[in-house]
Structure 1
Amino acid sequence: MSLQYVLLFLCFIFITIKGDKPPTYFPNLPLGEYKLKFKALFPCESTENHKLQYNVYFSKKTATEFELKGNMTLHVPFDDSVSISINMAVKSSIGGWKDNAHVYTTTNACSKTIWLFGELWNDIVRGFHLPRFNCPTPPGVYVTSGIDMEKLRQNNFPKKFFYGEYKMTFLFTKSTGEKLGCFVLVLDVIRPWE
């Protein structure tokens, strides 16, 4: 009788050992690998008095493909003396925005932007016809007729993140605290199969 229990136990162990099987699939976890679904891109306020003006927007190529279009007007160089603050508000279950869900603030905005965008930075430089690939970006007006947002996958963003709808406010300041520019990006962080 005890031999039957031993054999049953051994069978149970061999059946449940994973071996070379892929990891268990948990589709309803609140975070994981993701894809981005862009919704809107607009200035925080009138850019008339901003020294870094980002007048860019998303344009639909097809039902699921977007391009980044518009212009950037830089009255001062975009360099490492600029700081950037990103405040991510998450959409709550009742429809309002909860600020400070994720906050990222750093100095050296130019170098950090290049690092964060990774290979996509080269497409941004070519798309906006920037004069150089490294810092600083000199003052001027830079216009793009369209940058494919599918290329955004080639970046140094976190590879796993919390799912949900986010409103990201990007604020650019000088070390003295002077506000240089601001824009808002609204997007969904969704599961790869959605």
Structure 2
Amino acid sequence: MKKLLLLFIIFLIISCEGIQYDGEKRLVFQTVVLDSNGQPLPHSNVEINVSDDYSSGLISKGKTDQDGRITLVFPAPKYDLGINLRIYSDDMSYLEKGVFNIHKADFENYKFIYQNSYLLKFEETAALELTYNQTTSNTVLKNVGITGIYTMPHEYYNFNPDNYYYPAEILIKKNQSFQLKYTILNTQTDIETEYIVDLTIGDNPLSYTINY
């Protein structure tokens, strides 16, 4: 047991060189990995890494249990760095899911429960194709996302102003009603307004333009 602990510590030092951690505080991540029908996916892989502008490293990983559940405990970064998730199955027919830029502030009492860990197969999905139309220079688009059963390989949990990443395509379970949510920031007044649009997708791609 002591040898395993020592190897794990050495692994963390090597993989996360340059990132500083609080040796006294631990963060807890929990989720349930499900398929498109809401059934648990046992033995799915969940990885957590931490990144800053200069380096990144794997800090915790594991596999879900028979009920698709997983709990990972890892040391808290000293600073508010990006905490990122990678969720995937050894069965390559399932699409990988990536969630980026989770903050320490998103951990309530040091615990973060992620509710949208769906792994879908490509043939189960139809694409929501998004285009963006900026109508004034005084607005910024923030936090584009949806509610429903979907998957994205590169999803931002919190808006990252350094890269202005807006998804061009979101793969959604076919024949589903869902909500598209986005926030517009007025840079003159510093007021944020959230918009919620009810949509339905069938077997074919659906296009939508966000005007901001």
Normalization by structure 1: what TM-score? 0.30
The structure with more helix, counted as a fraction of residues: 1
The answer to which structure, 1 or 2, has the higher relative contact order (CA under 8 A, 6+ apart) is 1
